[in-house]
Amino acid sequence: MDDLKYWVAFSRIPSIETVRMRMLESGFESIQAAWKATSSSLKAVGIEGSALRQITEHRPLIDPDAKMERMEKAVVRALTWNDSEYPSALKELYDPPPVLYLKGTFMEHDAHGVAVIGTRRATAYGREACAALVKDLASAGITIISGLAKGIDGIAHRTTLEAGGRTIAVMGSGIDVVYPSDHRALAQRISKTGVLLSEYLLGTKPDARNFPRRNRMLRGLSLGVLVVEAPLDSGVMHTVRFALEQGRDVFAIPGSIFSPTSLGSNRLIQDRAKLVTDASGHGRNSTLPGWSNNHRFLVSAQ
């Protein structure tokens, strides 16, 4: 616990991300020792330039104990990549977050999850299709992972909860800064039976630069990605391309050729995504040919 507060403190410094955190971890006996190290000692392990300057400037302004007290009051936990609860799938990313902040607890079968993503401006068709597939998947015991945004994300989370399933919401802000604000009640419900997750400290406001990083966690946590509706210029398309590069299966629900919200989804089907029209199966103990590598999932591509 004593060392954890220094991990949290370092995560407050913008330039201390994956590569430099590894330098600190390998260069010192502990992260506490790294936090208290002199500039010359930091240089000796490779921390130079703007990173060194930011440490020396920010360190006097950060109280590690105060950060931990704030988390305790908010009932938020921190996990480092050395903790057993830290999802192993995230460690496979080229830039895994050194520290995760969460409300809730990961469960073993969360490793078998589907990321459900799509437009914030879902059509009636998209809302209905999302609810229908997610209900079947969640009822079968599959963890549904999404980004707590308006539109498809919100529908995926709500449908999962209504089906009595588990859902993980990956946020592009601090856990205490729910975006959009009208999803606060939804976030609270998720935290009781699932997980609210972020790599950002408490108090971090949503920012456009945060969401690509949020999206990499979505695809990293899941073994497959289900796209419901996505315009051609949507950020969903970037998430899917990276998912394909990482060897994740991508499924897409077909949409009208006249609907701008389905142009991206239909393009994905033309390329490498599997066309999906329903979800079926018999629970987590089913092994279905519709999922590559015989993972135990409930998605049937037709």
Express each pLDDT in 192-207 by its tens digit: 999 999 999 999 999 8
- DSSP 8-state symbol, 110: G
Q: What is d(CA 141, CA 8) in angstroms, rounded to the nearest whole number?
A: 33
Strands (E), 1-157: 77-80, 99-104, 113-117, 143-146
Could you tell me if residue 292 is inside a domain?
A: yes
Number of domains in the chain: 2
Could you tell me if residue 92 is inside a domain?
A: no
Residue 163 and residue 218 in one domain: yes
Residue 11 and residue 143 in one domain: no
Q: Which two tokens stand for residue 233?
A: 């210029």
Q: What is d(CA 93, CA 75) in angstroms, rounded to the nearest whole number?
A: 27
pLDDT tens, position by position, 58-88: 999 999 999 999 999 999 999 999 999 999 9
Could you tell me if residue 81 is inside a domain?
A: no
Q: Which two tokens stand for residue 22?
A: 């590894």
Q: What is d(CA 145, CA 142) in angstroms, rounded to the nearest whole number?
A: 10
Residue 70 and residue 135 in one domain: no
Q: What is d(CA 58, CA 217) in angstroms, rounded to the nearest whole number?
A: 27
Asked if residue 152 lies in contact with residue 119, where contact means CB atoms within 8 angstroms, the answer is: yes
Residue 29 and residue 112 in one domain: no
**What pLDDT does 7 receive?**
97
**What pLDDT does 112 receive?**
85
Q: What is the CATH number of the domain that holds 225?
A: 3.40.50.450
49: domain range?
1-74
Angle ∠(161,130,76) on CA atoms, nearest 5: 40
Residue 64 and residue 130 in one domain: no
pLDDT tens, position by position, 132-161: 999 999 999 999 999 999 999 999 999 999
Residue 52 and residue 119 in one domain: no
Ranges of the chain with pLDDT below 70: 1, 280-302
**What pLDDT does 100 receive?**
97
Last residue of a domain, one of 48, 74, 100: 74
Please count the residues of the chain. 302
